[in-house]
Amino acid sequence: MEKVLLALNEIEEINNAYGISNDKLHQIKEKAMSAKVCTPIIGKFSSGKSALVNTLLGYSRKILKENITPETAIPAEIAYTAAEDGATILGVDGNVKNICIEEHYGYEADATTVKCVKIQLRNSFLEQIPDVMLVDMPGFESGFEIHNKAIDNYLPQSLAYIIAFPADDMIVRSSVGNILKELCLHDMPLCVVITKYDKRNDDFEETFQKMKENLKRFVGERKITYCKTSSYTEDAEELKAFLVSIQEKSQTILEHSFHNSLQLLLDDTENYLNTTLKNSQLSESELDEQEERLQKQLLGLENQFGKEQENFESEITECVEEIKNDVEYAMEKEESTLVAMVMNHQSINEHLNNVVRNTVTVSVKQKLVPKVEKYLKRVTNCINAESIGDVHISFSFNTDDVGKGVVSNIVSAVAAIILGGPVLGTALATILGCIMKFQSDKKREEVKQQIREKFRGEVFPQIMREVSHSLEMTIMKQMTSLNTSIEEELQTQKQTLEKAMDDVRGQINDEKAKKENLAIDIKNDLEKLAMIRETL
């Protein structure tokens, strides 16, 4: 990241010399200054997650409260700072409150009003992993919305997930198993930490092997890193080594995430300098001709991009229908399970949440993301093949990052709208009424048939209406955002070229010596930019 920040500073200095806007550069710089990869720690309540973090930090006084209740459980983001210790409370309403670390010790969070707490510590171990942010997640008994938060809020910026199992309770519950299954859909590395190792019994190794076999039901043959820790003996060396390995990868990950942004900034500045240099010796009439040519070429480029947009929109409409069909089929396949759960008076919300999330995740990755990638390649080829005058217009996107963002945003929106809204609750109320009404005077099979009819006639259609609306709205919003970012980049480069032409026009009557000095300065700055590009 030092390389990234150095490059940004050098580009900023050159831009300042020529009056080129640094607004976009400052936004990227601000993100780069605070960028971290996070590693969420998940598990059931009382699995020792908070105690594990306290052990990692090595303080005599516990930074995180232990044995908290679901009502006060909120994500705690912990990262290194070279400044003073402190904490920031982020409210659900967007309000931000900074408190000192002493206030944090006595702070009682309300999960209904607080989104998360960010804790910054000048800590010796955290100093070894300055680009890693640990996230202590609430226990999964808090409800399936915690499942959603653990994935939706943290997956895009995570490098791995840590799953805590206490040595005296290594049962793989569905609440944790379901999130493991979803993480595997995103190819996320997993680390299983056995906490409270000092409390292991004589059958530990046998139980440990059984746990590994049970994990396979959710993750298959996926490679998992295993660590054993004990807060009682203050032993977390295996996990510390794992986190240090994350730190070693994080530099590459973070630098890669800013690579495309840096390339576009370089292209923008180079285009200005090249345009200024190549047009500085033109007469006013020659400059008029060049400017007219530039406007025609830019207009042609915009028209070509517009055609690509139209073709892409028609592909997306068809793709949305395919994703909806996948969701409907997945729910129908789960009908028997859902009926059995209702008959046993079990809540089906979490199960439906997992079915919808996993189906949308797989379907979007298989059907939508490839179309987005092909579209971006077509646009990139279309734009990169175009030269405006003697200047090369450039455009690039990291398709992997775009794909991950598209998947997580769509899944998050669909799950929140469907399973967090009143529609499902209304439909389920009719099913429960069906049980209360008929179970006392009808045979069990007749009741099950009645429930099936309710699912097919009311629940599934209502959910599909919500799915359809949510998918259409969210996917179109994502595609609009994608196209807007392309248009903004084209507009930025267009404005840069126009500024260069205007600046040349303003200098056209300058003395020859001044023009020659300007040309020398520009050539020197172009060499600097070439050197920056070589280091990336």
Q: Tell me, what's the pLDDT at 302?
A: 81
Token readout for 50 is 């908070």
Q: Tell me, what's the pLDDT at 429?
A: 60
The contacts of residue 239 (CB under 8 Å, 6+ apart) are: 52, 56, 162, 191, 193, 227, 229
Cα gap 221→445, rounded to integer Å: 39
Contact 490, 474 (CB under 8 A): no
Q: Which of 270, 278, 253 is nearest to 504 (CA)?
A: 278
Q: Tell me, what's the pLDDT at 390?
A: 53
Q: Tell me, what's the pLDDT at 434?
A: 58
Token readout for 188 is 């996320």
Token readout for 455 is 């699912």
Mean pLDDT of the chain: 81
Contact 133, 243 (CB under 8 A): no
Max mean pLDDT among 28-37, 65-74, 426-435 falls in 28-37
3-state secondary structure of 333: helix
Q: Computed from CA positions of residues 506, 510, 512, 518, in that sequence, does the dihedral angle turn out positive or negative? A: negative
pTM: 0.74
Measuring CA to CA, how many Å separate 111 from each of 72, 101, 293, 347?
5, 20, 60, 22
Tens digits of per-residue pLDDT, 456-478? Answer: 888 888 888 888 888 888 888 88
Tens digits of per-residue pLDDT, 349-375? Answer: 778 888 888 898 899 888 888 888 888
Contact 12, 109 (CB under 8 A): no
